[in-house]
Structure 1
Amino acid sequence: MEEITRRTISSYFFFFLFLAGKTTGKFSHDNVTALFIFGDSFLDAGNNNYINTTTLDQANFPPYGQTFFGSPTGRFSDGRLISDFIAEYANLPLIPPFLEPRNSQKKLYGVNFASAGAGALVETFQGSVISLRTQLDHYKKVEKLWRRNFGKEESKKRISRAVYLISIGTNDYSSHFLTNQSLSISMSQHVDIVIGNLTTFLHEIYKIGGRKFGFLNVPDLGCFPALRILNSKNDSCLRDASRLAKMHNKALSNLLFKMHRQVKGFKFSLFDMNKSLRLRMQHPSKFGFKEGEEACCGIGKWRGVFSCGGKRIVKKYKLCENPNDYIFWDSLHLTQNTYNQFAKLIWNGGHLSDSLVVGPYNVNKLFQIP
């Protein structure tokens, strides 16, 4: 399932032609800072359209995409994602999915490797998604082509100048609740393994030449409609899911600051998606929303049943009139309006003690670093 399709191999051929065209003066990308995207459904621009999986991990049917694209693209939202807005702010085109056979010229500006449902653990929804490990393998194929066609030194400059945007971990924790499987180890041990895999991934990217990283931490999972309805005792958030997210985020922050101190040239920006989402859920009107808990698309209490589009296990669903009024698009994902607000924070956020962007840099500054 995770092997490259024949269409993708064809896209490699055209990708090669476009890269080769640079030497003839057809294209000028000398000052481009590329954007490479890894992770899960918060950033997947449609890679899961091209793999053998189920509709649980796909969003290539209406009403997904209705607000901006007018039709489904594979993005788990009514429109654009955080990565789409970041590309816009960086004066880049929409970054295409790695597996998409078209838009080869745009892949000169970066590639999106993210896969809805993916985790840092290979075991997370294994067989239905593109794991972080396989995303890394795909990135290595692109890096190899860059070396062949830009030359070793030029490719190295472009790789080090690129920004790497990452959202991973959510599925490593939520999957156990959504599939009703209990952890065979302690929570802290589980978090340690997830962070360990992410650490290995980062060191691999660094070894290839990556230096500038932007991260989203794990949101308050227990308060997502799909997990909240699992709490049979009361209407509060699912405590253990929220606890795992909190533990992960503390460990992630510790990892990034440690790498910043110990790994030469490692630069990062960390967006506190967890806190930012909670603030909006608690005070929706303050941020321009009318609804902070119920999803726009779905069915059941808080529309927490993952039925948006009628293509999944449960076919019935309701759809709100205006997604911009809602924080949640479906029971597990956010609206374009929410992603837009987050992207602005990620791009422009400072590093004061009360800021939602933590680290020496925001993503705007990462793009400015040569």
Structure 2
Amino acid sequence: MACSYNQRFILFLSYAFSFTRVVYGVPQVPCLFAFGDSLADTGNNNDLNTMAKANFPPYGVDFPGGPTGRFSNGRNYADIIGELLGFTEYPPTYVTSQGKNVLMGVNYASGGSGILPETGTNLGEVFSFDAQLSNHNTTVTRINNALREKDPDNLSLLNKCIYLVGFGSNDYINNYLLPQGSETSTLYTPDQFADVLIKQYSAQLIKLYNYGARKIVLFGLAMIGCSPALVSMAPVKLESGCVDIANLAVKQFNDRLTPLVDTLNRDLQGAKFIFINSTHIASANPGLNGTAPAVTCCQTSNIDGRCVENQQPCNDRMTPAFFDAFHPTEKSVAPTAIRAYKSASPLDAYPMDILHLSQLPT
């Protein structure tokens, strides 16, 4: 039986305490917004016509209440960062948000989605980053209306919030690296494709800034070539244990994120973008997603790599890096979230971590 939220949080704090001091229940920022793919999705895909959903067992086996749509046995990185920021509740999904609960933030993340609008459509319906931004624009209107009722002279809430943004993995997995059905790999070299993504990403992030966001966290991509799904599809035995061509393609994208942060911070007045180096954090923690042997905790489908519905997962969910063929276990993702919040190395976050970002004046 899954332990209660408070019990689980106490266990989590005992693990996180060596990294930072957390004041539980005292949010360090007024609200938290999450944009991204299945690594942050908390249920936005549940009612979509898509294969990219996880609202069934064994997903959620360690999450209070069971399956929610999280692609994990438990929490994802957005959940953990929210806890570290002092929130006692998770932001609602966009599809369930209503009334004034949007004032604490909203989770827009959608499994399978990407920077490019066509990414993930091979799986069915998804909320692309463009669609998530459109949804956020609706939320901004709702927030501003609520704030006008409460205090017509104080509409600066959106500038103070933290915005988690993590896209790009699916632009490779469900677009560029698709063995068939995608033209991008024939149109672009990996270097050119990274430029295409960054150009689109930059325009989207500027739009988010124009909606009031100032404190924006960009997550780099993990080494997707080490995922069980990609390793299993490799035609020959891999000496490295990973699909190096996929990791090298992703590196092209990751290498452009620090310059992107510098450009946005220089050109946008009051902007405070930061970059989380997920690959470095994983490499500094042996056993994390992207460095561990490509084994899964649940029995997975050969079609899409998700857990087979209602099958019993592994008993030891503290050891495997991957829960299904693409997604990390809660244990695997927790150190990345913790070091994103408070870095343990200067290479973890640039130019600062989330803790220091939350403390900056607006």
TM-score category, normalised to shorter length:
0.7 to 0.9
Q: Which amino acid aligns with 1:230?
A: M
Q: Size of the alignment, in residue pairs?
A: 323
1:296–1:319 Cα contact (<8 Å) kept: yes
More off after superposition, 233-242 vs 323-332? 233-242
- What is residue 138 of structure 2 aligned with on the other side? 141
Instruction: Indicate if the aligned counterparts of 1:213 and 1:269 stay in contact, CA closer than 8 A.
Output: yes
1:208 aligned residue: 211
Query: Residues 229-269 of structure 1, C-alpha deviation per residue, up to 9 Å, x if partnerless?
Result: 12111133222211111000011221112222332221122
Partner of residue 184, structure 1: 186
Contact kept in structure 2, 1:50 and 1:100, CA below 8 Å: no
Which runs of no fewer than 5 residues in structure 1 stay unpaired? Answer: 1-28, 312-316
Deviations 1:119-156 (A, max 9, x none): 00001023521010010000000111122221296564
Structure 1 Cα separation of the partners of residues 140 and 154 of structure 2: 8
Task: Name the CA shift for 1:258/1:337 in 2 (closer, same or farther; >3 Å).
Answer: same
Distance in 2 (alpha carbons) for counterparts of 1:254 and 1:162:
23
Residues 33 and 101 of structure 1: CA distance in aligned 2, closer, same or farther (over 3 Å)? closer
* Structure 2 CA distance for aligned equivalents of residues 155 and 187 of structure 1: 46
CA deviation map 1:36-60 (0-9, x unaligned): 1101011111100132223xx0000
1:240-251 pair list within 5 angstroms: 240-251=245-256
- Cα 1:156/1:292, change in 2 over 3 Å: farther
Q: Which amino acid aligns with 2:134?
A: D
| Aligned partners of 2:38 and 2:71 also within 8 Å | yes
Query: TM-score, normalization: structure 1?
Result: 0.80
Aligned counterpart in structure 2 of residue 129 of structure 1, from 109, 114, 126 = 126
Question: Does 2:40 correspond to 1:49?
Answer: no
Q: Tell me which stretches of 4 or more aligned residues in structure 1 moved more than 4 Å.
A: 29-32, 152-155
Say whether residues 1:111 and 2:73 are aligned partners: no
> Matched residues in 1 for 2:223 and 2:29: separation?
35
1:39 to 36, 40, 61: 36
Choose 111-120 or 69-78, whichever is displaced more.
69-78
Supply the RMSD in Å over aligned alpha carbons.
2.6
Alpha-carbon distance between aligned partners in 2 of 1:170 and 1:154, rounded to the nearest angstrom: 41
After TM superposition, the structure 1 stretch with the greater mean CA deviation from structure 2, 71-80 or 265-274, is 265-274
Is 2:350 the counterpart of 1:358?
yes
Shift of 1:73: 0.5
1:202 Cα deviation (Å)? Answer: 1.0
- Displacement after TM superposition at 1:318 (Å): 6.6
- Contact 1:291 1:325 (8 Å CA) reproduced: no
The answer (yes or no) to whether the contact 2:31–2:162 under 8 Å persists in 1 is: yes
| 8 Å Cα contact 1:226/1:331 also seen in 2 | yes
Q: Which residue of 1 aligns with 2:307?
A: 308
Conserved in 2, the CA contact under 8 Å of 1:295 and 1:304? no
Aligned residues of 2:166 and 2:218 also touching (Cα < 8 A): yes
* Equivalent residues in 2 for 1:259-338, closer than 5 Å: 259-280=264-285, 283-284=286-287, 292-299=293-300, 306-310=305-309, 319-338=313-332
SS in 2 for 1:112: coil
- Measure the CA separation in 1 of the matches of 2:46 and 2:79: 18
The 5 Å alignment of 1:208-247 reads: 208-235=211-238, 236-247=241-252
% identical equivalent positions: 29
1:87-121 superposed Cα distances (whole Å, 9 cap, x missing partner): 1111222111100257x554321000110000000
State whether residues 147 and 155 of structure 2, in contact with CA within 8 Å, keep that contact through their aligned partners in structure 1.
no
Partner residue, 1:95: 91
Shift in alpha-carbon separation, 1:79–1:155, aligned structure 2, 3 A: farther
Q: 1 or 2, which has the higher helix percentage?
A: 1
Kept in 2, the 8 Å contact 1:351–1:358? The answer is no
Q: What secondary structure is seen at the aligned counterpart in 1 of 2:94?
A: coil
Contact persistence 1:349–1:357 (CA under 8 A): yes
Q: Which moved more, 1:185-194 or 1:340-349?
A: 185-194
1:206 shift after superposition: 1.3
Q: Is the Cα–Cα contact under 8 Å of residues 118 and 125 in structure 1 kept in the other structure?
A: yes
Query: For residues 152 and 81 of structure 2, what CA distance do their matches in structure 1 show?
Result: 27
**Cα distance in 1 for residues equivalent to 2:49 and 2:75:** 24
* Per-residue deviation, 1:327: 1.2
- Asked whether the 8 Å contact 1:96–1:112 carries over to 2, the reply is yes
Distance 1:116 1:267, change over 3 A: same
What SS does structure 1 have at the residue aligned with 2:42? coil
Shift of 1:224: 0.7
Tell me the CA shift for residue 279 of structure 1.
4.1
Query: Is the CA contact (8 Å cut-off) linking 1:226 and 1:332 kept in structure 2?
Result: yes
Unmatched tracts of structure 2, length 5 or more: 1-25
TM-score where L is the length of structure 2: 0.82
**Which amino acid in the other structure matches residue 128 of structure 2?**
S
Verify: 1:79 aligned to 2:80, yes or no.
no
